[in-house]
């Protein structure tokens, strides 16, 4: 049976993540295969309000699967958070004849999609954020690339820290979630990892771990800090003041968001983008595309946002065993 959906829009919103282009490509090409027109919306929800659009066909998304960032650009919109802004966005959808929107982004993007749906616009969210903090899915687009980028940088830092027998404090992204920091910390064999989910205690979380590592024979130490847990600069100063070490502080910053997406991010983004279009074509709305146990499926956006996601306690345990502390 032919789908009643004739034209859809796709946008990226919030922080960019490697693999977003692969998701855009999947949306455009799946729509083309199903006989659905696809409109690219530039600059997120702000672009939807302003009608900043481009037509997207099968060929228009060639050679973007390997590119970082997002060809549609991204932005945050204060206007979209207002009733007037939502009405303007809904009016644009009506003017352009959009039967649905695929919104690629994080938690804030999905909350915006949910609000827009109340004005009669069908929406499906695709999780794209390096923080991997979307509660209803085990995986978000961009996490694997960001983790590998951070690991590569820290491995390079470790080489010089070992040569000079120094302490290194590295700050990674994660304002409200420590998934990236814990994952990276385990991968690089960090002495300690600080995450927002756990209250920062210098004596127990850092000082004692460095002391025990030194007593075990280590002469160089790697501390990984999520930006939302503590300031790497402050942690470095405390290490100097209380332990007498001369740490080197490195803030990786936005370098983690850039670069060529890994194979995992490309494949997951492609599968999720495909599933998002299929959901809209089937007449679904208010859905979020999720991944669990390598299966891709959709859940209700309200249900997804209401779930609680916590750090894996096993990873904490393994981290402690591997560091010998």
Catalytic residue numbers read 131
Contact 149, 202 (CB under 8 A): no
Query: Which residues, including other chains, have CB under 8 Å from residue 103's CB and lie 6 or more apart?
Result: 11, 13, 109, 110, 112, 113, 123, 124, 125, 126
Residue 240: how many CB atoms within 10 A of its CB? 13
Residue 273: how many CB atoms within 10 A of its CB? 29
DSSP 8-state secondary structure symbol assigned to residue 296: E
What are residue 192's DSSP bridge partners? Answer: 223
Local structure of 196: helix, strand or coil: coil
Helices (H), 168-307: 179-188, 202, 208-215, 232-243, 263-281, 301-306
User: Angle at CA 53, nearest 5°, toward 51 and 54?
Assistant: 160
């Amino acid at each position: 049976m032919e789908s009643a959906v004739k034209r859809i829009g796709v946008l990226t919103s919030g922080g960019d993540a490697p693999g977003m282009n692969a998701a855009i490509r999947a949306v455009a090409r799946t729509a083309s295969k199903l006989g659905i027109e696809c409109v690219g919306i530039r600059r997120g929800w702000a672009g939807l309000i302003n009608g900043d659009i481009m037509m997207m066909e099968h060929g228009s998304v060639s050679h973007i699967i390997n590119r970082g960032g997002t060809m549609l650009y991204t932005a945050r919109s204060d206007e979209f958070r207002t009733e007037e802004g939502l009405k303007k966005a809904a009016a644009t959808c009506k003017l352009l004849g959009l039967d649905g929107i695929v919104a690629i982004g994080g938690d804030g993007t999905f909350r915006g999609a949910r609000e827009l749906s109340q004005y009669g616009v069908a929406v499906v969210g695709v999780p794209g954020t390096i923080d991997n903090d979307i509660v209803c899915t085990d995986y978000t687009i961009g996490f694997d690339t960001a983790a590998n980028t951070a690991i590569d940088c820290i491995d390079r830092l470790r080489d010089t820290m070992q040569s000079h027998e120094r302490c290194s404090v590295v700050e990674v992204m994660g304002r409200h979630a420590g998934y990236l920091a814990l994952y990276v910390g385990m991968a690089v064999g960090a002495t300690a990892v600080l995450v927002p989910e756990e209250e920062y205690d210098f004596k127990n979380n850092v000082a004692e771990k460095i002391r025990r590592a030194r007593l075990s024979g280590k002469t160089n130490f790697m501390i990984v800090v999520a930006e939302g847990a503590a300031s790497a600069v402050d942690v470095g100063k405390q290490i100097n003041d209380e332990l007498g070490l001369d740490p080197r502080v490195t803030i990786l910053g936005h370098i983690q968001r850039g670069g060529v997406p890994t194979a995992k991010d490309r494949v997951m983004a492609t599968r999720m983008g495909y599933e998002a279009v299929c959901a809209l074509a089937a007449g679904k709305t208010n859905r979020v595309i999720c991944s669990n146990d390598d299966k891709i499926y959709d859940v209700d956006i309200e249900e997804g946002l209401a779930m609680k996601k916590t750090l894996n306690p096993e990873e904490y345990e393994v981290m402690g065993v591997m560091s010998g502390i």
